[in-house]
Structure 1
């Protein structure tokens, strides 16, 4: 039986790509076809693997936002594993990273099987993320906003999010507890880091904090916390917990039953804040990396 790995071109291809992702990681939000289209860049490759016309897996390769690296994400449907499809997908994705000229390849794993697969190819742990989940059982309380703070949504004030990149945004990105600093362009900040809704804390018209929700049309009862961040000079005043409660209250009012968030293992302050609010730790994700040289003949 012949395996064919081809780029996603049509909306049907993207729906097949989505179907694989939803099947393999049903506990995470998957972008819609429209969102996938909006996120297209020359550096990103989405592929679907078919065996005799039957979809068996999918993959993505793109520039990582962490350092000079490419990210590879091969996925194989459970019923088609252990037949070499994962290796074939990985090879196709690594070739794309090599073509982009990145010296390092990054990947992720959140189960034993994925971790063992990555270890076979020399990937090693570089970071950990912790998934924490808040289950909504009724109305969510609130805390007072710090003096001088106005909370609005980015959707109500077009242009605020874009304008916040140079000051607030770059500071928030620099504070991620990762092994290599994030490299996020203004375009990516506007395109990929903005949630709907995204709540912005303003002081004298400047953004000093944010917290958002990524809604899941495939599972309307679940949502993912987007970036929650507070400018350094406003920390310790209760702004982060106020913004987090604003998002949870919005979720409760809109019929969402569960909100989950991924936080870097090294970000003890945010993990503690989530625990204080009642989030439970539900999963650990391992971030992996290795040099491109020597990987599958490259």
Structure 2
């Protein structure tokens, strides 16, 4: 339900629906003046196409499973590995070199994944995740900057994303990187 439909949302609530997420969109313009990402001690930045991490796809599945519960508004659990792989690492717009990884040794500790859109100059940031012990060190910001520079070099000029309105850390990262808020929407559920 779009943010500008408060009356409709009240009707849905009266009929037993509950809001389980409030997502806000954001857009960032990519320019050649993007700041250099900070180096994080002990971290190497790679991509899913270039990583040497063992069982990288399994590590990403574990990382997303470990971090998804920390995302306000995420109501579901991850599907089985094969279904997740087909959805997250396949399909239209998937580019392995647009999945940026932060590795400590051979362990993937953070990811930001971007998909191509029908517009060849626009990408969509699907998700960014950082393992709990690595949070607060600027890793999400650094990965998103690495991604933005790569994407600019690949011809993209605009990035879109959606973030749960209660996810203050990611909203702060996005604001610091020049993302401008756009319209949002509420996701509602009803138990039958």
> Which category of TM-score, normalised to the shorter sequence, fits these structures?
0.7 to 0.9
Q: Could you say which residue in structure 2 is the equivalent of 1:173?
A: 68
- Which residue among 264, 273, 295 is the counterpart of 2:173? 273
The answer (yes or no) to whether the contact 2:59–2:107 under 8 Å persists in 1 is no
Q: Secondary structure at the match of 2:123?
A: strand
Indicate the RMSD between aligned Cα atoms, in angstroms: 2.5
The answer (yes or no) to whether the contact 1:130–1:265 under 8 Å persists in 2 is yes
The answer (yes or no) to whether the contact 1:199–1:247 under 8 Å persists in 2 is yes
Q: Could you say which residue in structure 1 is the equivalent of 2:112?
A: 211
Q: Could you say which residue in structure 1 is the equivalent of 2:146?
A: 246
- TM-score, normalization by structure 1: 0.55
Count of aligned positions: 182
The answer (yes or no) to whether the contact 1:211–1:228 under 8 Å persists in 2 is yes
Deviation at 1:262, TM superposition (A): 0.6
Q: Secondary structure at the match of 1:226?
A: strand
Q: Secondary structure at the match of 1:291?
A: coil
Which has the bigger relative contact order, CA under 8 A and spacing at least 6?
Answer: 2
The reply on whether 1:201 has 2:102 as its aligned counterpart is yes
- Rounded to whole Å, the distance in 2 between the matches of 1:189 and 1:145 is 31
Q: Secondary structure at the match of 1:236?
A: coil
The answer (yes or no) to whether the contact 1:140–1:252 under 8 Å persists in 2 is no
Q: 1:264 to 1:204 in 2, by over 3 A?
A: same
Deviation at 1:124, TM superposition (A): 3.9
The answer (yes or no) to whether the contact 2:110–2:139 under 8 Å persists in 1 is yes
Q: 1:188 to 1:139 in 2, by over 3 A?
A: farther
> Where does the alignment leave 5 or more consecutive residues of structure 1 unmatched?
1-108, 293-298
Deviation at 1:179, TM superposition (A): 6.1
- TM-score, normalization by structure 2: 0.83
